Amino acid sequence: MNYEDILYEVDGAAAIITINRPQRMNAFRARTVEELIHAFKRAWAAREVGAVILTAAGDRAFCVGGDQKVFNETGSYGVSENGLWEIDALHTVIRDIPKPVIAAINGHAIGGGHVIHVLCDVTIAAEHAKFGQAGPRVASCDAGWGAAYLARIVGEKRAREIWFFCRQYTAQQALDWGLVNKIVPGSELLAEAKAWAKETSALSPTAIRLLKYGFNNDSAQIFGGVKMAAVALELLGNTAESSEGKQAFVDKRAPDFSQFR
Ligand SMILES: CC(C)(COP(=O)(O)OP(=O)(O)OC[C@H]1O[C@@H](n2cnc3c(N)ncnc32)[C@H](O)[C@@H]1OP(=O)(O)O)[C@@H](O)C(=O)NCCC(=O)NCCSC(=O)CCC(=O)c1ccccc1C(=O)O
C-alpha cells in the first residue's frame, strides 16, 4: 500500500508510525485510518520490531480527531482504498498487536486523536502537549472505548468531566490523572520514545504478549458496546444536529444546538 497520510520506518527494534497531515493538525480521514491499520499490521508481522512508536509530524499536534473539513464537504471522512471507515478496526489493532505501543504526543491530542493515545499502552508527552475530547462541540463522540476505557484510566468523574465539558488539559494535568506516563521537552520526545522501545524490546516477547492480552482481557467486555456506538455515531452523523456542529466548526462560530435539546 502506498502511504499518503502517514510515514513508516523501522529504527532498531522500533517501528515508528507518523501521522503526516500537519496542514490539518494531523486530523484523520478514512484513508489515514486505513493506512494506520496497514502500518500496525506491518509492524506486527516484522520480526525485528519489538515495539511501536505512534507519533505525528510537526510540533503543533499529535492528532485532532476526524477531519471536520472533509466531513463538512462530503458528509463522511472521505474515501479509503477498501471503501470502509474503520476507526474501530484501528482501535482494535492497537489493542491486539502483541507488542507495546508507545504514543509520543508532540502537541494537541484532541477528539479522536485523544482516544487513539488513550488506547496506546503507554504515553510520553511533550511539555507543550494538550489533551481533551471535543466531539460534543461538533455533535460527535466515541461512546465505546473513548468513554468506558477512558473511565478505567482516569476514573468515572474525570472521564465524564473530560467529555461533558470538552476542556483542554495540560501535560502536567494529564500526568497527574494517569493519562500519560512521562513528560519530556519536545526536543527530546522521539529520543525518549525510542529509549522506551529499546528497553521493552530486550524483554521476553512471549511474556510481553501474554501480559498485553492479560491486561486487555480485563477490559474486553467494552468491545461489545464499541460496535453499537459506531453504528449510533454513523446515524448521528446523518442528522441536522451533526450538520450544525460541522458547519459551525468550519464557520469558526459556536454551534447552536438549542433546537435539538
Ligand atoms: C485542536 C484545536 C484545539 C487547536 O486550536 P488552535 O490552536 O486555536 O488552532 P485552530 O486555529 O483552531 O486550528 C488550526 C487549523 O487546524 C484546523 N483544524 C483543527 N482541528 C481540525 C479538525 N479536527 N479537522 C479539520 N481541521 C482542523 C482548523 O480549522 C484551523 O484551520 P485554518 O484553515 O487555519 O483555519 C482546535 O482546532 C479544535 O478544537 N479543533 C477541533 C477538534 C475536533 O472537533 N475534533 C473532532 C472531534 S470528533 C472526532 O474526532 C471523530 C471521532 C470518530 O470519528 C469516532 C467514531 C467512532 C468511534 C471512535 C471515533 C474516534 O475516536 O475517532
Pick from 5, 24, 25, 251 the residue to mutate for probing ligand 1's pocket: most ligand atoms within 8 Å of its CB: 25
Q: Which residues line ligand 1 (CB under 6 A)?
A: 24-25, 27, 64-69, 87-88, 108, 110-112, 115, 134-135, 137-138, 140, 142, 144, 146, 230, 233
- Mean pLDDT, residues 146-167 taken together: 98
Mean of all residue pLDDT scores within the chain? 97
pLDDT at res. 28: 98
Task: Check residue 188 and give its pLDDT.
Answer: 98
Position 211 confidence tier, pLDDT thresholds 50, 70, 90: very high
Return the domain boundaries, the chain. Answer: 6-189+201-206
Identify which of 73, 121, 129, 67 has the alpha carbon closest to the alpha carbon of residue 98: 121
Cell of 72: 463538512
User: What value does the mean pLDDT take over residues 210-218?
Assistant: 97
Other Cβ atoms less than 10 A from the Cβ of 135: the count is 23
Task: Name the pairing type of β-strands 130-132 and 108-110.
Answer: parallel
pLDDT in tens, 111-131: 999 999 999 999 999 999 999
Pocket test for ligand 1, best of 5, 23, 91, 110 (most atoms within 8 A of CB): 110
**Rounded mean pLDDT, 133-137:** 97
| pLDDT confidence band for 228 (50 / 70 / 90) | very high
Let me know: does 114 contact 132? Beta carbons within 8 Å. Answer: yes
d(CA 3, CA 39): 9
3-state secondary structure 199-225: HHHCCCHHHHHHHHHHHHHHHHHHHHH
| Ligand 1: centre distance to CA 209 (Å) | 34
| pLDDT at residue 107 in the model | 98
C-alpha cell recorded at residue 176:
497527574
- SS3 call for 246: helix
Q: Map residue 254 onto helix, strand or coil.
A: coil
Q: Which residue has the higher pLDDT, 72 or 17?
A: 17
- Return the exposure string of 138-151: e unless at least 16 CB atoms fall within 10 Å of the residue's CB, then b: bbbbbbbbbbbbbb
Residue 95 confidence (pLDDT): 98
pLDDT band of 217, cuts 50, 70, 90: very high
What pLDDT score was predicted for residue 131? 98
**Average of pLDDT values for 182-203?**
98
Name the H helices within 46-85: 68-74
Residue-level pLDDT at 2: 96
pLDDT of 158 = 98
38 is in an annotated binding site: no
Q: What is the pLDDT of residue 31?
A: 98
Mean pLDDT for the stretch of residues 138-152: 97
Distance CA 63, CA 15 (A): 19
Q: Which of 29, 33, 64, 238 to mutate to test the pocket of ligand 1 (most atoms within 8 A of CB)?
A: 64
Q: What's at 131, amino acid-wise?
A: F
In 12-138, the DSSP E strands lie at 14-19, 51-56, 61-63, 101-105, 108-110, 122-126, 130-132
Strand order of the sheet with strand 14-19? 6-11, 14-19, 51-56, 101-105, 122-126, 182-184
CATH 3.90.226.10 matches 6-189+201-206: yes
Alpha-carbon span 124 to 72, nearest angstrom: 32
| Rounded percentage of the chain residues whose pLDDT exceeds 90 | 98
- Taking the centre of ligand 1 as the mean of its atom positions, its distance from the CA of residue 67, in whole angstroms, is 6
Mean pLDDT of the 161-179 span: 98
